[in-house]
A and B are shown apart, each in its own frame.
Chain A
Amino acid sequence: MKPPTLRQSMAWIHGWLGLLAGWILFAMFLTGTASYFRPEITRWMQPELRPTAVAPGAAAAAAIAHLQRVAPDAEQWMIYLPDARTTTTRVFIRDKPKTPPAPRRPELRLDPATGEPLHARATKGGEHFYRFHFQLQLPHPWGRWLAGLCAMFMLGAIISGVITHKRIFVDFFTLRWRKGQRSWLDAHNVSAVLALPFHAMITYTGLITLMLMYMPGPIAANYAKPAEFSAEAAGIEPERPATGRPARLAPVAPMIAAAMREWGGEVPGRVTIRNPNDEAAIVTVARDGTAALSARVGTISWSGTDGRRLSASPPPGPAIRTAAVMLGLHLGWFADTGLRWIYFLLGLAGTAMVGTGLILWTEKRLRKTASPRGLAIVQRLNIGTVACFPAGMAAFFLANRLLPAALPGRADLEVSIMFYAWFGLAALACLRPLRRAWPETLGIAASAFAAIPLVNMATTDRGLPRALAQGDALFVAFDLVMLAAAALLGFAAWRAGAPLRRPRQTAERVPEALAHAA
């Protein structure tokens, strides 16, 4: 038997890497795509909030006034200043180590103008999709390892896919409908090849974001603690332990103003205060990080007692700069609204690439398979992923509107509902014949997405008609995207439910010799 050619080997690798990681990659792509609008999703999920925009210095001062009341003896205050997308001040408090250790305080959201805690329905918002994207709702570090493994599989699938694709240029503009397996192959090729630079970039840079976890050896060999490397890489002042001697915290607004002057008017994104109200207090102001490709933001540190400038982070070396640009490309913080939508659409193309690949895998084996049971399992997993996962996401949004706003634990319950809906629908689909399971689950997903704008209109004062009238762009855009998703899934349900076309019967050709004899 002839050994397989390079293309055949690559096709085998591509098929198996793509299949084994495909179900998780589909969910990672979809949630990652949604994460490009993480703050917008959170704002949609807290429709009660309409905070007033204020200058960064004022927002920081208001937040610090609140922190002085609720956590004056904390080890660290981290204040994320509001911007055009995240309109609230977000605060993280790290308490001093105690025995037993104090529980980690959850994120606080404050009104930028008053510094008072904002009262809105508790929700994880867009943060849920962001965290799921690289942690997969699994305990640390297993989720990140699994996500990384799938990303490595994806990289292998991209390379093997390019090698095995014989007519990559000839097929560049080819998309044929209603041709069965050929149509799925065309769709997979189109969604993969046309956005190939994006897919390759997003996969490789995604691995870079957690590279220190996947390859910890160099850091472990050269630093006693990983935190020492992080501080040196970021160029921030080394952490000093608190002296225990109280000292009044210097006003932070002048430090922010000085930082903005030094950065040519660029606004800060974050203020970190270590050992507040202690002689060893340090205030570090970090840049916004949206002005350049690099995700590594420069910082300036001041003494927290007398406001004396201590240091600024040095320009990064080539390695750190390369990693920071790669991280920036993956996160897309630099992108304005237009570019962000492009990221979003390309992410959807990636999701389509994975989904069509999963379906193509089964289509190729419908007529001939070594393991009918294995094929059946793959088909059920495909339905559970491609049709039921989006339904779970829709259920997350619906739960946000339908659960009582004051319900304790509602943030975690919203997440639970997403998983109940996803797995519950997938389990129910297993009870249905395969030909019915696809259109039914896709139809349910479409209905769920279509319901979101209606439920939003019924339960809030920011429904689509009013949002259009008031120029509430975020709520208009969100509802329109939900309707577009409903239309797409509805179309898919309709096509999946269409009767199978039987192959045309061709008339038997009478051999010429016999025809002449007659």
Chain B
Amino acid sequence: MPLDALAGAYAGLTCFALATRRPRQAIALPSAATPPRLRLLGAFLLGLALALLAAQLGTALGIVAWIGIVGIAALALVLLLSRSTRAALLAVPPLLLLGAAALLFG
């Protein structure tokens, strides 16, 4: 499982989620975290995940894998969000650390 891309996809989707009304009402975000900036960050992270997969698997396989990984990350995020917005957000840092470790050490 390409953990680095999964982490990037999850983090990116979390940014998109935090740009919507309900999660923003559930937790206090810094004022700098405006919806447009969060969407931009989310798009960047999703694009990064795609680039990583394309580099690892080739363009065609990379796109296929990216679509699948984004779907799985989205399902996991929504399940967590439905129980606790805080838990969904707190999952991002350890996932990113795992992803970074997977990228650096294989």
Q: What residues make up the interface of A, taking CB atoms closer than 8 Å to B?
A: 170, 172-177, 190-191, 194-195, 197-198, 201, 293, 329, 334, 337-339, 341-343, 345-346, 349
With contact pairs A173-B81, A177-B82 given, residues A293 and B60 touching in the complex (Cβ less than 8 Å):
yes
- Asked, given contacts A173-B77, A342-B65, whether A194 binds B71 with beta carbons under 8 Å apart, the answer is yes
Residues of chain B within 8 A (CB-CB) of A176 are 82
Task: Supply 6 further A-B pairs (C-beta < 8 A) apart from A173-B16, A195-B75, A198-B68.
Answer: A174-B78, A175-B79, A293-B60, A329-B64, A341-B1, A342-B69
Contacts of A338 in B (CB 8 A): 1-2
In the complex, what distance in Å separates the CA atom of A201 from the CA atom of B68? 11
- Any chain A CB within 8 A of the CB of B97? no
Candidate in A173, A329, A337, A339 with the most chain B CB atoms within 10 angstroms: A173
User: Once bound together, how far apart are the Cα atoms of A339 and B5, in whole Å?
Assistant: 12
Measured CA separation A197–B71 after assembly (Å): 8
Contact A349 B75 (CB under 8 A): yes
How long is the Cα–Cα vector from A198 to B65 in the complex, in angstroms?
A: 11
Knowing A172-B20, A173-B22, A338-B1, the reply to whether A197 touches B67 (Cβ < 8 A) is yes
1/0 contact trace for B66-101 toward A, CB 8 Å? 011101101101110111000000000000000000
Report the interface size for chain B: residues with CB under 8 A from the other chain.
24
Q: Are A334 and B71 in contact (CB under 8 A)?
A: no
> Which B residues form the contact surface with A (CB < 8 A)?
1-2, 16-17, 20, 22-23, 60-61, 64-65, 67-69, 71-72, 74-75, 77-79, 81-83
Complex Cα spacing A190 to B13, Å: 14
In the complex, chain A residues whose CB is within 8 Å of the CB of B17: 172-173
Q: Known: A338-B2, A349-B71. Is A174-B64 also a contact (CB below 8 A)?
A: no
Enumerate 29 A-B pairs (CB-CB under 8 Å) in ascending A order.
A172-B16, A172-B17, A172-B20, A173-B17, A173-B22, A173-B23, A173-B77, A173-B78, A173-B81, A175-B81, A176-B82, A190-B75, A190-B78, A194-B71, A194-B75, A194-B78, A195-B74, A197-B71, A198-B67, A198-B68, A201-B67, A293-B64, A338-B1, A339-B65, A342-B72, A343-B68, A346-B71, A349-B71, A349-B75
Secondary structure at chain B's binding surface: helix, strand, loop or mixed?
Answer: helix
Residues in chain B near residue A195, CB distance under 8 A: 71, 74-75
Known: A293-B64, A334-B61, A342-B1. A175 touches B82 (CB 8 A): yes
Contact between chains at B71 and A198 (CB < 8 Å): yes
CB distance from B16 to the nearest CB of A (A): 8
Which residue of chain A lies nearest to B65 when distances are taken between CB atoms in the complex? Answer: A339
Contact partners of A175 in chain B: CB under 8 A? 78-79, 81-82
Residue from the set B16, B22, B23, B68 with the largest chain A CB neighbour count within 10 Å = B68
Q: Are A293 and B61 neighbours in the complex by a CB distance under 8 Å?
A: yes
Instruction: Select from chain A the residue with minimum beta-carbon distance to B17.
Output: A173
Nearest CB in chain B to that of A328: its residue: B64
In the A-B complex, the 6 residue pairs with the smallest Cβ-Cβ separation, listed nearest first, are A338-B1, A175-B82, A194-B74, A195-B71, A342-B68, A173-B17
The distance in angstroms between the C-alpha atoms of A194 and B72, with both chains bound, is: 8
> A73 to B23, alpha carbons, bound, how many Å?
71
Q: In the complex, which residues of chain B have a beta carbon less than 8 angstroms from the beta carbon of A334?
A: 61
Closest residue of B by beta carbon distance from A196: B71
Smallest CB gap from A183: residue in B? B82
Chain A nearest CB: distance from B102 CB in Å?
11
Which chain A residues border B61 with CB–CB below 8 Å?
293, 334
Within the assembled complex, what's the spacing in Å between the Cα atoms of A337 and B1? 7
Collect the chain B residues with CB atoms within 8 Å of residue A191's CB.
75
Q: How far is the CA of A361 from the CA of B64 in the complex (A)?
A: 32
CA distance A195 to B69 in the complex (A): 10
